[in-house]
Structure formats: C-alpha cells, structure tokens
Structure 1
Amino acid sequence: MADPMTQSSQISSSQGLNDGHPATSKDSKFSVHDLVHWRDPKKTGVVFGTSLLLLLSLAAFSVISVISYLLLALLCVTITFRIYKSVIQAVQKSSEGHPFKSLMEKDVSVPPETFRKHVDVCLTYINCALKQMSRLFLVEDLVDSLKLAVVMWLMTYVGAVFNGITILILVDILTFTVPPLYEKNKTQIDHYIEMARTQINATVAKLQEKLPGAAKRSKAE
C-alpha cells in the first residue's frame, strides 16, 4: 500500500503539469484581440511600428519602390550573414554547413486543403457582398439604399481631403489606440453609443413612416 503523503505529492505534481500545459498553449496563441489590446507591449509595439512605418513609406514612395527596398534590405541582411558565417567557419575550420540550412529544410508550400479552405471562406464573403450590392443598388429596400447613398456622398468629401494611404494610416493608428481607450472607459462610451443609437433608430423610424411602401413593409413584418 502506497504512502498517503507520496500519493498526495504525485497528485499535486500531476495537477501542476496538467494546469501548466494549457497555460503554455494559451500563451503560445497570441490572437489579434490580444494584439490590439496591448496584452504584450513588445509584440504589439513591433507590429504597430512596422505597419505604420510601411504605410508611411507607401505614402512617400511608390509601391514598387517600397517593395524593392524591403526585398533589397532583406537580401543585404541574409547575404551579409551568409558571408560572415562562411568567414567564421573558414577561420575556425568548422563544418557547420549553411547557416540557413534549418530554414531551407522547412516546408513552406501551402497544402491544397488549406488553400481550398481559405478560397471557400473568401468565396462565401464575396457572394454575400455581391448579394448585398445587388439588393442595395436595385433598391430592394428604399431606406437601406438611401443610407448607402448618404454614406457614399460623405465619402466623396472624405476622398477630397484624404487619399487611400492616409486613410489606411489613420485606420492603423485607430486600431492600436481605440481598443485600450475603450477598455478603460467602457461604461461611459457604451452610454453615449446607446444614446446615439437610440436617436438614430428614432430618426430612421420617422423616415420609414413617411416613405412610400412603409405601410406595406410594416404589415409584412
């Protein structure tokens, strides 16, 4: 018969291992939600800085120039490292081989199943978008089509002030600044959003009552 103290220690150690395993797997999966909420400031800072630098570069130079400079910089780093390791191996007379051997042996090909899965997902979104565009532009619902017309009219003013890259820069900045601010002031922001939503819904309801076909639509509902 085993010692009770030994059994309890074994159970505790096994529970510790079991508890530690999910935590490790959880830490390894760093989601986009954690990224924009600055759960890991180092990772978020790198992603935010890199994306902002890339967008600023696209704003100052052409896409071809930015891509060419990025690839050239990457080649300079890899070639320099390759020459450096070759010199070190020649001086030390070692036979370590190619410094990027482990990376070259990795399979970088996309599996057909993964490719088809992503294509199917994209196709679903495309079909949904086409259906919505057909519904809006063929005026299936007059109110929804008028909403789209107002949004497009406002976007003409936005396009006159900003270009596409500037909007992407603003979106990138807002993506990494709004979530933490919202998390800190969630109660107040939700209160004002609910007030605005109530006002908008009341205004839309009044417009729907005055538009033709509103009575038919309300009966159908």
Structure 2
Amino acid sequence: MTDKVLDLIYWKDMERTGLLFTGLVVGLLSLFQLSIITVVSTLCLVTMCFTISVRIYYHVLHALQWGDGVHPFQWYLDYDISLTGEKADHYMRRTIVLSFSTFAEMKSLLLVANLVNSLKFLVLAYLLTYVGAIVNGLTIMIIGVIAVFSIPLFYRQRKAQIDNFLAAVKGHIYNVKDIFHRLCQGGSPGLDHDPTPGGAKPKIK
C-alpha cells in the first residue's frame, strides 16, 4: 500500500496521478460554492453516468460480436481493498494510541506542564489566528494537496541543492540559538565557532 501511494506522489503513473490530483483539487474548489452533500452527490452522478454508458457500450459491442464481452471495469472490481482482521486491528490500535497521545500532549500544553513548551504553543496559536484571518481550512487543504503532489518530486529532482541550502539555514539557526543561549546565561555572544576541526584559535595579545 505504501509503495502504491509513493508511486502516485512521485507521478510514476501519470494518468492515475493526474486523475487523482485533478479530482482532489476540483472537488475542494467546488466546496467554496457548494455544500459537501451537493459535491459528493454530483460526483456520484457524473461517475455513474460515465460507467453506465461505458458498460452499455461494451455490452452492445459484445451483442454485435465486435467485442469479447469482458467487463470494462473488471480490473477495478477484482482489486482487493478489504482489510484482514490483523491489519484492521493494527490500524485501530495505531489510531487509538495516536489519539490518546495527542490528547495527552494537548492537556500538558494547555495546563502548563512545561512553561517553555506552553509558551511556544501560545505563540503558535497566536500566529494561527492571523493565518485563519487570511485563509480558511479549504484553502489550506488545497495548498496541502498541491504540496503533496509537487514538493516530494521537486525534492527528488533537486536533492543536492536543497540539502546544501537546508544545511546552511540550520547552521545560521544554530548560531542564532547559541547567541541567545549565551545572552540568557549572562555572557557575551562570543566569537563564531570555527566549523573546521582543528581550526586556529585566536591569539590573545
């Protein structure tokens, strides 16, 4: 299952990925103007009109002896999407563990079990109020869908350049955190550390 999802994300099958990506984006865009019930029912109607037309067309071809009579969607009908008892139990356990761990983390943040972590969450919640004023949940979902189908492929194609850029950013962030850490301890920011091992130490006159 994981390999098939990765194949879709990395556009291994252009046709299926294109259909899935287009369907998700169009469906989410439709929710801006229509209710979810209208969108789902309309999609079902369009899909059934297409499948019934194709099914009748193949049946007519078989009646005229111009076709082999094979069901046009037989591959999709035979595709097994059921879960065994073991897999269902595994996914249920993971869902329960994730739900309770999320609830426990939110409880510790809201009830200030750790002051620093709660302050970080406070800042994040404050920033999210601005995000909510600019965009809504549907916009974020559309951006998320586009990101899922574009960022992994872009990263695979530009892996070396992106890794070098991220390493440089992490280095700058580490230097800034080190300066703030020294200031909080009452010291001076000090000199930048020599990134190369065995670097020459500054001479004191």
Which residue of the partner structure matches residue 62 of structure 1?
Answer: 35
8 Å contact from structure 1 (residues 59, 166) kept in 2: no
Instruction: Please state how far the C-alpha of 1:190 moved relative to its aligned partner.
Output: 2.5
- What do residues 83-140 of structure 1 show as CA deviations (whole Å, max 9, x unaligned)? 1122222222988476556655665543222211111111111121112112111111
Which residue of the partner structure matches residue 192 of structure 2?
Answer: none
Change (3 A) 1:142 1:106: closer
- What do residues 8-64 of structure 1 show as CA deviations (whole Å, max 9, x unaligned)? xxxxxxxxxxxxxxxxxxxx94453x654x463725544433332232222332211
3-state SS of the aligned residue for 1:92? coil
Q: Does 1:162 align with 2:138?
A: no
TM-score (norm 1): 0.66
Amino acid corresponding to residue 171 of structure 1 in structure 2 = G
Structure 1 residue runs of 5 or longer lacking an equivalent are 1-27, 211-221
8 Å contact from structure 2 (residues 62, 69) kept in 1: yes
Which residue of the partner structure matches residue 88 of structure 1?
Answer: 61
The total of aligned residue pairs comes to 180
User: Which of 143, 159, 168 is 1:183 aligned to?
Assistant: 159
The more displaced of 181-190 and 111-120 is 181-190
Which residue of the partner structure matches residue 123 of structure 2?
Answer: 150
Change (3 A) 1:57 1:183: farther
Looking at structure 2, the residues matched to 107 and 127 of structure 1 have their Cα atoms a distance apart, in angstroms, of: 31
- What do residues 149-180 of structure 1 show as CA deviations (whole Å, max 9, x unaligned)? 00000100110110100111122223333341
| Greater length-normalized contact order (CA 8 Å, ≥ 6 residues apart) | 1
Amino acid corresponding to residue 146 of structure 2 in structure 1 = I
The more displaced of 68-77 and 145-154 is 68-77
The more displaced of 146-155 and 55-64 is 55-64
TM-score (norm 2): 0.70
Change (3 A) 1:84 1:128: same
Instruction: Please state how far the C-alpha of 1:66 moved relative to its aligned partner.
Output: 1.6
Which residue of the partner structure matches residue 92 of structure 2?
Answer: 119
Q: CA RMSD in A?
A: 3.4
